[in-house]
Structure 1
Amino acid sequence: MRTNLFHIVLSAIFLTTGICKMSAQETPKSGEFRKAENKEISEPEIPDTTKIVIPEQPKALKNDTNKKRSGIDAPVKRTAKGYESYDVRTNKATLYDEAEVYYKDIELKAGIIVFDETKNEVFAGRIKDSLGNYTQYPYFKQGTQVVEADSIHFNSKTQKARVWNSRSNQGEFWVYGEVSKKENDSVIFIKNARFTTSKDTEHPEYYFQTRKIKFVPGKKVVVGPTNMVISDVPTPIGLPFAFFPMTEKATSGFIMPTFGDNQNQGYFLQNGGYYFALSDYYDLAVTGDYYTNGSYGLRAESQYAKRYKYRGNVNLRFENIIQSERGFPDYTKSRQYNIQWSHSQDAKASPNSRFSASVNLGSSQYFRQSLNTINVGSSLNNTLSSSISYSKTFQTVPQVNFSLTARHSQNTNTESITMSLPTLQASVDRIFPFAKEDEPKKGFIKNINLQYSVRGENSFQTTDSLFFKPEMFRDAKTGLQHSIPLSTNFKVFKYFSVSASTNYQETWVFNTIEKKYNTTTGEVDTRDLKGFDSFRTYNFSSSIGTTIYGTFNFGEDKKFQALRHVMRPSVSYSYTPAFDQYYDQYQLDASGENYVDYTRFQGGLFGAPSQNFANSVGLGLNNTFEAKMRNDDESSDEPKKVMLLNNLNFTTSYNIAADSLAWAPLRVTGGTTLFKQKLNLNFGATLDPYAIDNGGRRIDVYNIDNGGSLFRLTSANVTMGYSISSTDGQAGAGKNKDEQTARNGGRDDDLFGTGVDMSDQRQSMFNDDDEEKSDKSGGTFYNSTFPWNFRLAWSVTYNNSNRQSEITNNSLMVSGNVDITPRWKVGISTGYDFVNKGVTFTQLRFERDLLSWRMDFNWVPNGYNKYWGFFIGIKSSILSDIKWDKRQVPDRRIGN
């Protein structure tokens, strides 16, 4: 009980000055009272004192002859449904029946409130109703602290108090005490107490029972011999004493590990460590794993935030993984690490500059070899990527933008790494030299505009084994590229939009090559040259396009009333000259007759100038199809619009300068959403007008002239995603977001499974809405509808570039969750590869809400990540160490 009841006595001063009646002839009788406000005034009546229940009071403390009254520095409000009275002879003020007193942040409610001014004592108690049952129990609130009791007895002079059968909430605890004794402002003793985190305060499913408690408000709770009681049945689980910190601020403390055993690594402890509450702005959690075969893992995670400035987190992870025993042929030892950093800046912090970071780098095999089950959902990741950027805008005329970015991309299959440290980009805003700033930009001349931009990059190509080693920096490529685009746009014949542009680029490099035939070895040697060099290129392009609308009406009396077709045809032209001046020759063999052209800029950071003359025309057609349907909703007479195809695109080009194979393959792409936007469907196909020879090479003969069809289908792909739930995305379908797996580079849903950290109480399939519904239903079975959700992803790729006509990829992934009862959830993530004919990653999830407790079971039955884990424990973070879990970590020898 954190409250200070001293301020209650201030209400008595108000009662004394507001209720006391003066008489010049006689003193009022001792039982006279004044009725509460807002009631009709009638003749005084003697109250039914049998309804006033005041338990036997403790011995009154010695009165202070030099009695002082405390001043009131804020309004005092009071009310009583029955009556308010002041007995001048005994100096007692009484509020009876729904008595309430309000002063500052203090709120006191009771059946009866009595203030004895002579003894400086305040009493609040319950009363009996007409049936003889106790009602209107005292309720005391100060700030966020609430105390409910059978009676409260307080001495305003000594600041001591006694409370019978108190019920109060202290943080996550509900504390019940038979007798509570307040010694002073900082210490409270409770006798025969029980405490629990159960929401059912009347009949908790579990509680801890102890004979005595010492409570220091806002600091700590110290208890004596304590015994756990489950469903009112005492258990042998107990402690000789216990200590609980009680503070609203974060505090440092140990993180208890979970335990288990594995046939390869032996017995282990996972996720144990220490939490450091460093300040209000940042913290640090250091955890680790240990396995009896010598394997271990270390992690350090810190979160930081400053309101209206920034927020972020840092996660450093390392694992030393040992397989088998030293001396055995299958003995292996590997060290894997992962670094994550996320930083975001509040938009209010600086409107003209911004810093952000999203880092995820480390060993390519970290998530696949990690022994910690929290990484299971990320084991399918194929790429890791990072970006750290700083940008600034200079509010000049024209505006100047500047940015510095460090990027990283890593393929976990090939273990190749591409990194830029850093990338510099700067640009000057668009300038219209032939138009005034305040006039509209219309026509060919006034729409002419130009820009300037520069891009500088320092790029590295390396692998896991050479990451941040001297070899990585030795092969760095550095360069800058300047671009000046000049463009304009205008309309012709009212309906056609025309755009024209030319682009000049100048590229500076510090890495070139030289190729020479080595007469000694008989091979061509390539020598890297360091030093400044440059080349210049330019091109021209233009396009013309329009929009055509077509509507086909079928009648307003029909279900399908109309079809709308929107076409956006476009024709483009591009011209790029050949830059032969940047090309040299080298001798191919010892004959001295065979020479090959090459450019010293080959393999450069920004590519190389082209030796081929390009003069091509591009054709494109974009289509959308929309239907107008009769609305079955009786509340609306307007028809509804349904999108049939979001896009259907056809693109190809014709190279005027080519002497053969001038037509490029026709590319067809499309996509749509169906079933109230729950199904996303995308498809694409490549159609080649030319035939191929027996060796699979394209020949300058149309496929239709070679005995085939007009086009030859060389490749096609279809992807589909479907998501549906019984509540259409509303609450009750369970949690399906996995933020840590998304940070690791995977998906944020459960389609490819989720990471599992059974020691983290926040990782639950239940959310707050689910628990509220469970409380209302009592956990019984659903009457008719089971809340559920379902996700599906399907991908198929067809390849026929060389008449092989084969499906190269055909995989299906599904995930689903269902609530069997309001307190039972079951989930599954699985899939099937139709090409390799095998089941993909499969995960089964079971979770039971046990009110104040949580139980879950996770199981991956097969494959490289095969594991299982069982957990049962108290939900409350303050009692999170009261748990039992058993797990088997994945056996990483499989597939190695």
Structure 2
Amino acid sequence: TTKTLTKYYDPVEMKVVNKMNNKIAGYSTFSTTASIQTTLYGQANFKKGSTIEAIRHVVTPSIGFTYSPDFGDTKFGYYKNYYTANGALTPYSIFENNGIIGSPTTGMVGALNFNIGNNIEMKVKSKSDSTGLKKVKIFESLSLAGNYNFAAKDHPWSIMTINGQSSFFNNKLTVNTSLSLDPYRIIFEPGAETGIRTEDFGHFSLQGFNVQMSYPLSSEIFGEKVDYPKKYPAKGDIRNEVYYFDDDNYAHFDQAWTLNISTNYQYSKGLSKTPNRMASLGLDGSIKLTPYWNITGSTHYDLVTKDLALTRIGFSRDQRSFTINFNWVPFGRYKVYDFFIGIKANILSDALKYKDRSFTQPNAPF
């Protein structure tokens, strides 16, 4: 940067003065990390003839150590002090008010990190599988992570996080979860909305929870796969080569569609007495009206406020040599549209195109 900051209190003006110095300066930071990881396997076999043949558990523990010095120490020269009107010695960074490079971090870090990953699967009998057995995932991943900062003067233990991922119904329904726990006791003074984190270790209060689920639907799941060359005698000529024609000269084509159903629930508390909750249900889909016309759309419904969230509708037209796209957000706080025409060939895609969009100001009039 070409500017640094000097702060001081002016007793005449009775205010803190920020003086910018025209000076070339910069800073550098560094840290070091070492880690080790291993994998442990365990398997429980069930008696012969049981529906469940075996359960396998894979554990992947890892530990690491991270060290970073305190760049707020005066020996680095990145931070200085000034006295306020009350005579309090206050530190500041000489790189403050510089949005390009920011300021170096303060506080020494000497943390021991740990992560315990788990994968649990079982083998069950299946008549649909050629081997007679099928793998069922109980947990694709289930991990516990945290760290202990030896350099911290207080609260050396970090927030503990637990993350899980699994799938059900032949890997169709995907479930992702996360949980965060504070190992220190949080107390609230009478009438206070913000708690105080004490040094009392071992309480593990819930700080946040999130669960996401999604289930995809499509024409391939519900519809019968049609072999068009075998079923219909004629195929279209130039410009109609994607169509197949029956004896009455009616055109047939694959009218594919997709629909993804998702839901999300989020709970966050932190040091607040009153937690925040968010729950939503989302739909995201597409349908091909013809091989060259495609309609897409998505919407989300907020189950807490009972309102529709961001809703988008899109149209696209394949003109063989170029494409036309139109996307529209018809209602909500930010109404916006986007229109694009462009050549499909990569060599000309930037040379020949037209794009227009509305402004994204809140509560647009259209």
TM-score normalised by the chain length of structure 1: 0.30
Which position in structure 2 is the counterpart of 1:61?
none
Change (3 A) 1:820 1:606: closer
Q: CA 1:790–1:518 in structure 2 vs 1: closer, same or farther (change >3 Å)? A: same
Cα gap change, 1:788/1:616 in structure 2, threshold over 3 Å: closer, same or farther? Answer: closer
SS in 2 for 1:533: coil
**What is the one-letter code of the residue matched to 2:84?**
L
Query: How far, CA to CA, are the matches of 1:616 and 1:775 in structure 2?
Result: 71
Residues 59-109 of structure 1: CA distance to partner in whole angstroms, max 9, x if unpaired?
Answer: xxxxxxxxxxxxxxxxxxxxxxxxxxxxxxxxxxxxxxxxxxxxxxxxxxx
Q: Which amino acid aligns with 1:700?
A: T
1:793 lines up with 2:257 in the alignment: no
Q: Give 2:14's match in structure 1, choosing from 519, 522, 527.
A: 522
Distance 2:148 2:56 in 1: 31
Q: Give 1:829 shift.
A: 4.3
Check whether the contact 2:10–2:17 (CA below 8 A) recurs between aligned residues. yes
Give the Cα separation in 2 of the matches to 1:536 and 1:819. 54
* Alignment match, 1:646: 140
- SS of the aligned residue for 1:692 comes to strand
Specify the code of the residue in structure 1 equivalent to 2:67. Answer: Y
Q: Pairwise mapping of residues 574-593 of structure 1 onto structure 2 (< 5 A)?
A: 574-579=66-71, 580=73, 581=75, 582=77, 583-589=79-85, 591=86, 593=87
Q: Residue 671 in 1 paired to residue 165 in 2?
A: yes
* Structure 1 Cα separation of the partners of residues 263 and 39 of structure 2: 34
8 Å CA contact retained: 2:35, 2:62: yes
1:93-492 map, 5 Å: 478=1
Aligned residue number for residue 207 of structure 2: 714
- Residue 758 of structure 1 corresponds to which residue in structure 2? none
Judging changes above 3 Å, is the alpha-carbon distance between structure 1 residues 667 and 511 closer, same or farther for their aligned structure 2 residues? farther
Q: 1:537-686 to 2 correspondence within 5 Å?
A: 537-555=29-47, 557-579=49-71, 580=73, 581=75, 582=77, 583-589=79-85, 591=86, 593-602=87-96, 605-633=100-128, 636-637=130-131, 639-686=133-180
Cα distance, 1:779 vs structure 2: 6.0
Q: How do 1:696-845 residues align onto structure 2 when only pairs under 5 Å count?
A: 696-702=194-200, 710-728=203-221, 771-772=243-244, 775=246, 788-801=257-270, 802-807=272-277, 809-816=278-285, 829-840=298-309
Tell me the CA shift for residue 687 of structure 1.
0.6
1:787 Cα deviation after fit: 6.5
What RMSD over aligned residues (CA atoms) do the two structures have, in Å? 4.4
Contact 1:732–1:787 (8 Å) recurs in 2: no
Q: CA deviation at 1:827?
A: 7.7
Cα gap change, 1:642/1:516 in structure 2, threshold over 3 Å: closer, same or farther? Answer: same
CA distance in 2 between counterparts of 1:777 and 1:698 reads 79
Cα distance, 1:629 vs. partner? 2.7
* Shift in Å, 1:665: 0.7
Distance change (3 Å), C-alpha of 1:608 and 1:789: closer
Give the Cα–Cα distance (whole angstroms) in 1 for the partners of residues 246 and 12 of structure 2: 87
Larger Rg: 1
Structure 2: distance between partners of 1:811 and 1:789: 20
The whole-number CA distance in structure 2 between the counterparts of 1:828 and 1:540 is 47
Q: Which runs of 5+ in 1 are unaligned?
A: 1-477, 479-509, 705-709, 734-766, 847-857, 868-888
Normalized per residue, the structure richer in helix is 1
Q: CA offset at residue 821 of structure 1?
A: 12
SS of 1:711's partner is strand
Q: 2 CA distance for matches of 1:576 and 1:821?
A: 59
Any conservation in 1 of the 2:55–2:122 contact (CA below 8 Å)? yes
Measured at CA, do residues 513 and 828 of structure 1 come closer, stay the same or move farther in structure 2, by a change above 3 Å?
Answer: closer
Residues 730-756 of structure 1: CA distance to partner in whole angstroms, max 9, x if unpaired? 9989xxxxxxxxxxxxxxxxxxxxxxx
Q: 1-side partners of 2:27 and 2:289: how far apart?
A: 69
Deviates more, 1:681-690 or 1:522-531: 522-531
**Contact 1:843 / 1:860 at 8 angstroms: preserved in 2?**
yes
Structure 1 576/844 Cα, relative in aligned 2: closer, same or farther at 3 Å?
closer
C-alpha distance 729-544 of structure 1, shift in aligned 2 (>3 A): farther
Specify the SS of the correspondent of 2:25.
Answer: strand
Q: 8 Å contact 1:779–1:821 — kept in the other structure? A: no
* Contact 1:660-1:700 within 8 A present in 2 as well: no
Residues 396-448 of structure 1: CA deviation (Å, up to 9, x unaligned):
xxxxxxxxxxxxxxxxxxxxxxxxxxxxxxxxxxxxxxxxxxxxxxxxxxxxx
Amino acid at match of 1:798: Y
Aligned residue identity for 2:157: W
| Structure 1 stretch displaced more, 689-698 or 710-719 | 689-698
Alignment of 1:867-882 (within 5 A): none
What is the letter of the counterpart of residue 140 of structure 2? Answer: N
Match of 1:803, SS?
coil
C-alpha distance in structure 1 between counterparts of 2:187 and 2:67, whole Å:
31
The question of whether the paired residues in 2 share the 8 Å contact of 1:690 and 1:698 is answered with: no
Instruction: Report deviation, 1:714.
Output: 1.0
Task: Considering Cα pairs closer than 8 Å and 6+ residues apart, tell me whether 1 or 2 has the greater RCO.
Answer: 2
Number of residue pairs the alignment of both structures matches: 310
- TM-superposed CA distance for 1:511, in Å, is 3.4
Could you tell me which runs of 5 or more consecutive residues in structure 2 were left unpaired when the two chains were aligned: 227-239, 316-326, 338-357
Native 8 Å contact 1:703 1:712 kept in 2? no
User: What fraction of aligned residue pairs are identical, expressed as a percent?
Assistant: 28
Letter in 2 for 1:725: S
Cα deviation, residue 814, structure 1: 1.0
User: CA offset at residue 519 of structure 1?
Assistant: 2.2
Helix, strand or coil at the partner of 1:622: strand
Please say if residues 668 and 685 of structure 1, whose CA atoms lie closer than 8 Å, have aligned partners that are also in contact. yes
Give how far 1:895 is off. Answer: 5.3
Q: CA, structure 1 residues 539+843, in 2 after alignment: closer, same or farther (shift >3 Å)?
A: closer
